[in-house]
Amino acid sequence: MTNTTGRKVTANIAITLDGRYHGPDGPGDLGAIVRYATTDVGRNHLTQIWDGATTALLSRPNAQGFLGYWPTVAADENADPRDRGYAKWLVDTEKVVLSTTLTEAPWERTRVLNAPAADVVTELKAIGTGNILVNTSPSILKPLLAADLVDRLFLLITPEIVGGGQRLFEDGLPGSTWTLTHQEVGELGEIATIYDRIR
């Protein structure tokens, strides 16, 4: 199917210096990530990821975590405006959740699909407008990288080596070239970057 809408696939994730999106104790081991996400650089980065995006593509675990937390931030007038802006976007935007276990969505403006990520993205690119944001969901991002379907990467790189845990960039990915279009360095040594795929 040809992309006639001009929609781009963007993806956001935080990784450590050794390329991992969680530590050796599993998906909940985020100590090398979380404190950097709440810095000024981390929050500015959060503001950039959803600019221009009209669809959030999420794995079931991320949807459950995000949609259990962010709606309270959207309603909190005392929250950081950058956090609140992202939270309101996430609540209000179209959400597509990939799951093999859910049959219906418990959240508003959400569709649940049990299909390969590449097939879902190909369908989404053929309809609608605005970017499709793969939002901190490595189980979706990895197959999209393998299929060379990602157009922009928002990476928050934290200055820690955790020595274990899942890596984002596995061996066997097709070769690709990217250009750095934005970078910002934080006081703790975190680096917020935006890379665009050169095609």
DSSP secondary structure, 88-115, as one string? HHHHHSEEEEE-SS-SS-SSTTEEEE-S
Domain that holds residue 94: 26-198
Residue 6 domain flag? no
Residue 20 domain flag? no
Residue 3 domain flag? no
pLDDT band per the 50, 70, 90 thresholds, residue 103: confident
Residue 21 domain flag? no
Q: What is the pLDDT of residue 155?
A: 98
Q: What is the pLDDT of residue 111?
A: 95
pLDDT single digits (tens) 38-55: 999 999 999 999 999 999
Q: State phi, psi for 21 to the nearest 5 degrees.
A: -100, 0
Residue 91 domain flag? yes
Q: What is the pLDDT of residue 1?
A: 44
Contacts of 81 (CB under 8 A, 6+ apart): none
* CATH number of the domain enclosing 189: 3.40.430.10
Domain total of the chain = 1
Q: State phi, psi for 190 to the nearest 5 degrees.
A: -75, 150
Place of tokens 């049959």: 103
Residue 147 domain flag? yes
Average pLDDT of the chain is 94
Question: Is 0.85 topped by the overall pTM?
Answer: yes
